[in-house]
């Protein structure tokens, strides 16, 4: 139930949706003075959220900085979170990647470089699945195809949110199957914008992973005509990611997940 409520709430508070609701409401009541103000507010907010420079500056400041592969020791286990494939596409004889494929591809790279010895993939069926194959299993199939030894991959297929990623991963990690007892043996891999919440969830359940952020949205800020003046759809998408993540952190704090 929490998953479905959170999805609905996320839809309602997204910047583009708010702008469109204000513009529509203002247009309907255009003959009233407050209707014109609401319409203007919607247009101004839309221009703000579509400003590429502002969006990039904010997410660049929010995301943790990337880590060099060479700076990493060897970890017994890398935990990679899902949420990077299209689970509503068929047939399931392949992996359909969405934005965030770095979570999978750079995990494979870490494995092949000897930086992680085993891989735990955490993620279930998600919202309204069209096939019983979980996202974790789909990523496992891709990694095996890419050269990872299947015996070195563990899949967790029940989690539908970050809290459950941490909760169910902890049960596996502390089981006899893995039996990690040193914090430095664990590396958490997820998108940079999501790392703060993910790490907090793992700390809450008693795990103390090192982190390896991937899938960066932010770039070194550069003020030019295009980034400052020309509205960009990608900027709105960045704000959607950020606001959803910030709301997620607030909600997780309120319910005790972090």
Q: What is the pLDDT of residues 70-123, one digit of tens each?
A: 999 999 999 999 988 888 888 888 888 888 999 999 999 999 999 999 999 999
CATH number, domain 69-214, options 3.40.50.620, 3.40.50.970, 3.40.50.720, 2.60.200.20: 3.40.50.620
Q: Give me the pLDDT at residue 1, please.
A: 57
Which of left, alpha, beta for 54 (phi over 0: left; psi -120 to 50: alpha)?
A: alpha
Q: Which two tokens stand for residue 164?
A: 């459950």
d(CA 138, CA 37): 49
Q: Give me the pLDDT at residue 225, please.
A: 82
Q: How confident is the model at residue 10 (pLDDT cuts 50, 70, 90)?
A: low
Lowest mean pLDDT among 141-150, 168-177, 186-195: 168-177
Q: CA 30 → CA 17, 20, 258, distances in Å? A: 19, 15, 45
Exposure of 16 by Cβ count < 10 A (0-12 exposed, 13-18 middle, 19+ buried)? middle
Strand order of the sheet with strand 116-122? 153-156, 116-122, 75-81, 186-191, 210-214
For 206-225, write each residue's pLDDT tens digit.
999 999 999 999 999 988 88
For 38-56, write each residue's pLDDT tens digit.
999 999 999 999 999 999 9
Phi, psi of 211 (to 5 degrees): -120, 145
Query: Contact 186/180 with Cβ under 8 angstroms?
Result: yes
Phi, psi of 212 (to 5 degrees): -135, 90
| 153 vs 15 pLDDT, higher one | 153
d(CA 169, CA 83): 15
Domain ranges in the chain are 2-63+231-255, 69-214
Lowest mean pLDDT among 8-17, 74-83, 117-126, 234-243: 8-17
d(CA 184, CA 100): 25
The pLDDT of residue 3 is above 80: no
Q: Give me the pLDDT at residue 6, please.
A: 62
């Amino acid at each position: 139930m929490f998953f479905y409520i959170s999805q609905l709430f996320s839809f309602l508070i997204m910047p583009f949706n708010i702008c469109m609701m204000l513009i529509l409401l203002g247009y309907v009541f255009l003959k009233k003075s407050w209707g014109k103000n609401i319409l203007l507010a919607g247009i101004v907010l839309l221009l703000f959220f579509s400003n590429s420079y502002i969006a990039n500056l904010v997410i660049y400041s929010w995301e943790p900085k990337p880590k060099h592969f060479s700076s990493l020791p060897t970890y017994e286990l890398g935990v990679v979170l899902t949420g990077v494939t299209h689970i509503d596409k068929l047939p399931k004889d392949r992996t359909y990647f969405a934005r965030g494929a770095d979570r999978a591809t750079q995990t494979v790279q870490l494995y092949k470089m000897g930086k992680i010895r085993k891989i735990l993939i955490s993620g279930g069926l998600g919202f309204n699945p069209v096939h019983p194959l979980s996202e974790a299993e789909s990523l496992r199939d891709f990694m095996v195809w890419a050269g990872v030894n299947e015996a070195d991959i563990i899949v967790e297929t029940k989690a539908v949110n970050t809290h459950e990623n941490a909760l169910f991963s902890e049960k596996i990690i502390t089981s006899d199957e893995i039996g990690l007892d040193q914090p430095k043996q664990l590396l958490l891999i997820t998108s940079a914008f999501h790392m703060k919440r993910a790490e907090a969830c793992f700390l809450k359940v008693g795990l103390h992973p090192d982190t390896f952020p991937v899938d960066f949205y932010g770039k070194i800020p550069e003020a030019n005509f295009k980034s400052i003046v020309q509205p960009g759809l990608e900027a709105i998408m960045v704000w959607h990611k950020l606001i959803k993540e910030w709301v997620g952190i607030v909600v997780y704090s309120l319910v005790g997940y972090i």
